[in-house]
Structure formats: structure tokens, C-alpha cells
Structure 1
Amino acid sequence: MSERSLPADQIPETIGRYKIVKKLGSGAMAEVYQAYDPLIKRTLAVKTIRFDIPRDSPSYRTFLNRFYQEARISGTLSHPNIVTLFDIGDENGLPFLAMEYVEGPTMAQMLEKGERFRPEKVIALVSQVASALDYAHSRSIVHRDIKPSNLIVYGEDRIKVTDFGIAKLAEADLTQAGTLVGTPSYMSPEQAMGEKLDGRSDIFSLGVCAFEMLSGEQPFPGSNVTSILYRLVHVDPIEPGNLLESGLVPEKWHEVFNRVLAKKPENRYPTAGAFVQDLELCQGSWFTGLGDDTVTMVSPPVLAEATATLPQMEVAETIRAASAATAGSSAGAASSAPDPAGQEPTVVLGPAAETVVLAPGASPKAAVSDTQPMPVPPPLPSRVPARAPATPRPGRPRAWLWGAAAVLTLSAIAGAWVLWPKGGQDVVAAPTPVPPPPTPAPAPPPATGSLRVETEPSGARVLVDGQDRGTTPLDLADLSFGEHQVRLELSGFEPQTHRVAVSGAAPSGQLQAALTKVAPATGGADFLSSPPGAAVLVDGRAVGQTPLSDLQLKPGSHQLEIDLEGYEPWVGVVHVTPGSRARVEASLRPLLRVTPPPAPPPVDTSKVYANTPKDVDTLARKVSGESPSYPSDRAPRLRSGERVSVTVSFVVTENGEVEDVTIEESGGRVIDEVVASAIRGWKFQPARKRGTLVKVRTIFKQTFLGG
């Protein structure tokens, strides 16, 4: 049963020899099914191709030939990251492809669910796609439709590219007129403009996919196809706003994606592998590395000016008196200045200002002690702007001080007169007054500072002058003034050493450092082939010819291809471990020599062919011109049921013009002239034979019927 004859909600039982299990998906030009091959007993995928071409159209055979040609080219691809094509055929005129079944979601399905990937996983997946593309490009095969829906993820960290050759079929003049082939968001600019494509178009599309996988955004967003195509051709890619949060280096991101998404192909990476090599540098840290031994000057934080506003009570005078009394021994006394509004005084605390703390409900006078010195805070950083000396409050002179001094003087004189010996009396010495204990000097400010240490990534061990102080992020609040050596250590990253200066001018600051990953140790590999002299490609990059000894590679799995002209390519994987040496031996199989069918003879453009499907692929077709009218003014009037016919043959040229008009069956001289004259004014779409415009002779019969 033909697929086209089934209702939309049913699937065919078989396609070719393959038993259909279930429908996997559908698109604009294809249906995909999971199927079972009873002959080989394996599960596979069957894709049917739909085009709106009438099967009786001369173009249908041309399409089938093109379909088989593109499928055969795609079938020659043998790569671990390309879906393998097993078979081609047609079922009741419906072409189909039987290919490898890969169980897993497409990248498009994963992105639609909002799934995000770590940069290292994206690079691992993109690297596999790049290997597949470089392999195909080395054989002059361009995919033309690299997009997330054509990338199948399986086994969590493996990926395969599907639909090689399908896009080129769609680009042929076989679809409906005006239909846009391909997905605009992933097209290269030259593809959007209908220009000739090469492998660099696929590299652009791969760059768009990598951009979206890393950032969750498309580089050329738009609300409709027109806006997308305009941005694609004329506007630079957007800048994602989450690069730092995703662990990506913005500067390197711009450099890599501005190149891979360049508007002109010559400005892009020459290979997909070269793009992936630079893409690895996008992952890293938020800050530029400071080196192994860097002196980092710690900048003090900018402190806001500290002010305290006191109400106009006697405590203001008390503070001024206390400040005046200590002015000789303390250089940094509290300075008082009138409030700009003239209502309340403002006391600005300087580097050595005394502090008065008023408890709720306490008397302002009781807050000032006569015997205990007030604590002196450490000096504020020099960035705090100095205030001008306070101006004494006008209208309140200090006359009481002079009065107090006079009273004390008179009291001293009276006391001396009382104690002075009189008239030979024994002099009794007054007891020596015990001096009060000296007021202790204010404590010097502490000579320590603070430092906040941050690293990307966090969790690094912090050693200050060789002493382990914890892990980042870390606040160090007791660093003595002077220079300190700060060492940062984290497993898997290069250690860093910084010299940090802490002083009174810079008592606090911050150290930010980006740690660099330790370069992985390499391993070796030997490559042999039988016969020797084969080219060796590792991850799509040519590295030499067999025999090749002790090639140094990064640890991990690498895609390997050993290729020699005249032999089938050998494709596999080499696993490299640090410090070890792998060995690969490839036995190459000769290619089967198939004699290609003889090329058809060239089209003879001087010959006039018959305008039939047997002689030409595309028939000549009338596109304009008026039909002949019966010359009732010059020819006998036709009675009811009476008819007269004229048969004419003529040649349609390669330009669609009519020439060599010949009357094959006459209807009378007047009628013949009218019909021939009308035909000479007709315009045709020229005929084609194997794509070449040719001349054809066609026959036209005009019949007039009396009414």
C-alpha cells in the first residue's frame, strides 16, 4: 500500500522490504519511520522523500535520477559521526532512504526543553560534528543544512549528523515556486542570497549551533523570516548577557564567533576543526590571569564621612571645653562647626576624635568623665576629606574662664596668708599633696588591615606567608601592615603567587584572581597501515603518513581516519592515556573498481526534435498569444453543427519564438491565413533535453464549430 493513499493518522505496513515499526517524525519534505530489516535482522530508520511533482511530469524522472545520484554520493560517507546510509529505492513511485537507526533526541529537542550544557560538553559535541564535516568536505561534499534538528545525541556524549545530500535535493528546481529551502536561522549569508556554497557555509551553520548551545540564544534572532535574513546578511551577532555566569571568557568569545560567523566565507575558519580548537579557549574564567608572581596594590575602600549631630544643650559646651583641655596632647580633636541651617551643631570625628555616647535618658553632663580618658579610634583613611577648623560659636564668650582663674588666684593667696608663720610660732608644714595619677596616653591605632580574596573558580586554598588561612572566597581581617605573600592553590589549576601591600593608607582591599587550568599531560600513539603511505587524520586534522611514530596527543578519545587512494578509508577511535603509548594498525581494503556507465552523447542543438516526452525532457509550452478567431466577414458562415479544421506544424526555437509555420491540413485559404497569422505571434517556454535548450517541432489543430 502506498504511503500517499493512507490517512494522515496511519502508517504503512512496509516500505520496500522493510517492516515499519512506528513513525518517528515528519517534516516539510520527509517522513521518518523506525523499521526492521527481516533479511539482515536489524533495526534501521526509513525516510521517505516527498516533492510536489506530478508523477506523469517529464521532470519526475529527472528528479528520481538526481535523487539516486545524491544518495549514492552520501552513501560513500563512512564516519563514526555521520548516520550511515544502507539502501535507496522507491515504493510505488515514492523514493525512500534506509539508514542507520540512532536512538536519542535531536539537539533541537534538547534545546526546546530548555536544557543547558556545560561548556566542556558543548565543545566535545561540536568537536564530533566538526570532525564529520571536515571528513565530508575533504570529499567535496557539503551538507547545506547543519542545524540542531539534524544533530542526534546518543549515549549522553556522542552525536551524529544526519540528512547529508537531502538539502541539495531540495535546492533543485523541483519544489514549489517561492518556497524557502532550509532553516533561515542557521543559513550562511551566501546561502540566504542564493550564491555558490562550499564547506565554509557548513562551518558558519556549525558556529550558529555552537552559539546557541553555549548561550541558549540564537545569534541572529528575529520575529519573522524577513527580519532573520536581514540580520543574517547585514547585522553582527548579538552579545549574550550570560557569558560570565556560563564560565566563558567574553573577549575570547567575541574573537572566535566574530570569525566563524563572518559575513564573507574567506574571513571564516578554513576548517571546522580549526574553529573547535579556538572554541576551547572560550572556556576559562571571569578575570585575566595575573601571572605567577604579581605585586597587587590593595586599594582602600572609600569611606563616607562620619558625622554626629547633637542637640543644642549644655553638652555642646562641655564637649568644647573637654576638646580645648586636651588640644595640647591630642592632635586630632573633634571639630565643631555650625549647622548650615543654623539650628544644630555638627561634630565631625577626625582621626583622633573623642567619642561621646549618650545612653537613652542619660544626662548630657554625666556623659563627660573628668578622670577617665575617652577612647581614641584609629585614624580614618586619608581619602576622608578634612574639615576646616571649627569657628567658636559667636555670642558666647569664654569670660567665665577668666573669672575662674581669678577665683583660684585669690584662694591661693588667702591660703598662703593663713599658713604663713606669725610672731615666732612654730611653722607647721602643710602636707605635701599627692599628685593625681597621670592620665594614660590614648592607645595607638591597631597596625592591621583586611583583605578579601576571591578566585574563579572558588574553593582555592589561601596561604598567607606560608600559613594556610582557608579557602576562597575568604575574608582576612587581621593582616599586619606591610607586604605579604599570598599563594592560591586548587587541584587541576596552576598555582598563583601574589605580593600584597597593606598599610595605613590602604588598610583594606580585595584580591581577585582567575586560575588557569593545568595543561593535561600528553600521551603517544603509533600509526601503521598495510599498505603504508596512507594519510593519517586525527579529529579531522591531517598529522602525517603511515608509518607514524610517537605522535603526542591529549588524553582522551580521538577520531581517527587512515586514507590511501585506491583503498577504502579506515575509520576508528584511538584512546590516549597520559604517559602511555597507543598503537593502531589498519589493514586497508582495495576499492572495488566499478566501470561507470558511458556518458550520454552531447545534445545536438542544431537538430529539431519532436515536442514529445520521448525526445525531450521538458516540453515546449505556450506562455502567451491570442487564439485565432473565425473570419466570419471573409469566410462562409458556418451552419449549426458544421465545422472546419486547420492543422498546422511549426518550430519553437531555443528562445521560445515560432518559425517555419506549415499548413498540414487546410481549411480554406482565408481560414489558413488567419490561423497561421495567430500562431506566429505566440511565445513559448523552450524545450529542454538533458538541461540544454533545443528546437522542437509541434503540431497544432484549430477547429471552428458553427452555432
Structure 2
Amino acid sequence: MKKIKILGLVLGGLILIIGLIFFAIGFLRPKVAGVYIETNPPSTVFIDGFQVGRTPYDETIKPKEVIIKLIPESFQIPLAPYEAKVNLLAGVKTVIKRDFGEAEEDSAGDIISFEKIGRNESGLAVVSVPDSARLIIDGRERAFTPHKTSSILPGTHTLTLSADGYMERIVEVKIHEGYKLTAIVKLAKGPEPTPTPTPNQVEGSEAEGKAEEPKVEIEILSTDTGFLRVRKEPSTLGEEVGRVQPGEKYPLIEIDSKTGWYKIEFQPAQAGEEGKQGWISNQYAKKIGGMITPTPTSKLIPKLTVTPTPLYNIN
């Protein structure tokens, strides 16, 4: 009987010691914070003045307030860099998205971060630049920024922000139970309205004669891979929709004013089917023929899907 009691005490002591060891390991393990950065076009990432990589950037670092600077990779038109002070919290991944423009006012983006609250609670806070932007949540609830609510269920929600003179921005976020999500959204300035010509101006321009514009083509240059990828958007982050070969020539549709990428028709229309178009890098292609005016991509309405997740396993 005594042996059984002694054995029980020994086993109990071992279990207690093992539990204390695991607790100490978890308590003493350094806390880390996550940061994910995605930009269009790609950019070089600096944290506290040190170059740490290029976008898309996904790393864990020591929790602290840092200065993040993004230098866009632009081969044709200079784009405005981005710099912000961000507080990186332990156990939380902060998501930064940026669409670069020629100036700060032409750029758009958002910062998504989490803050721990009550275990059975969830919350949302939305701040915008400019202030007092119209906010629509899931196509129904209407408000103005800054906006804060605790009556929002966990799950994916769509935020639509707009303001007079600015481009609309759509951001999808994922709310988690026990956390408040904060979204800081920057809107880009909208294009200046184009004056409507008077009937006399229209008649005068038609009377000048209709000279046929010279045909503009793009010739594919040699690449290391032996082919060039055609993408859905003018960025290396864009989805690949086809491939073209060096020496081939294709009709030029437009030029992206930010990146200088060319939009081409790489597959002509056939009976009953539309032609296929896509973007290629201007580093591996050249224009042949007349001139075409670059088209600003800022006329498009950006839609970003943001699904940041609290880093439960990095505490």
C-alpha cells in the first residue's frame, strides 16, 4: 500500500514538474509580431531604415513601433514612395496594402490590424483619409468615417468607402472573435472631369478630316525563360493568362501610365469568340509604329481582398 502511495506521489510530482517546464517555456519564449505587405507595382521594403526585402513581404519580427518605407519599382513614370509609422503588436499580423500613384494624393491603400478584446466579443473600427468618407458595410449598413462598432459578427465583411472627388475603394476583411479589427483606408484622388465639347467643336473636328492613325504593334524581346508571361493586371502580382514568344508581334491596346506595361491582344477574335488581351512587361518588349497615349490605371476601381489572421501560434 505504501509503495502505491509513493508511486502516486512520484507520478504526481513528475506531472507537476513537466507542466511547470512547459509553462516556463511558453512564458519565456520571445513574443513576435507579424507583418504582411503587398503593393502595386512591387516595391522595396525598408523597416527602421534597413532594407529587408521586396513585396510581397511576409515576416515576423519583434513587437514594437516601426517606420515602414516602401519604394515602388517604376521603369517609366516616377511614383511616390510611402512611409508610415506602424505599431506591431505581439501575436498579431498587421497587413499593409498600397497602390502607388505619381503623387501621394493619387495613391491608395490600407492598413489592417487587430487588437485583443473580450473573449466573446468582436469589433470593427474604420478610419479614412480623407475624413468623413461614406462607409457601406456588406452593402447595407451606412455610416461615415471614423466609424466604430461592436455589433458585428465574426466572419468576412465587405467595406466600401467613397468621397466626393476621390476613387471608391472596396476592402474585404475578416473579423475574429476576441479581437477588434482596425482598418485605416487611404482613398486616391479621382480623375479631373473632362469638359463636354460643344456641337461647333465637334463639327469643326470632323471637318478637319479623318486621317487614319498608324498601326502600333509590340514586338516581344528575348527573355531568360524563352517566353514572356501575359498577365491579367499590369504587375508581376497579376494572374498569368497566357504566354508569348520572342520575335512575335501583337497589336498594342494601351500603356499603363504607372508601370509602363503594355496591354496587347495576344489571341485574335475568332468566329463566336472574343479575342484575348493581357499585360506584358515593357522590359521585354518594344513598340513598333505610331504613338499611343498611356492610360492611367487610376480610372479603375480597386478591389482588395484582405484576410489578416491573428497569429495565435506565435505567442
Pairwise same-fold verdict (TM > 0.5): no
Q: TM-score, normalised by structure 2?
A: 0.29
- Compare relative contact order (CA 8 Å, sep 6+) and give the higher one, 1 or 2: 2
Q: Which is strand-richer, 1 or 2?
A: 2
Q: Which has the larger radius of gyration?
A: 1
Q: Which is helix-richer, 1 or 2?
A: 1
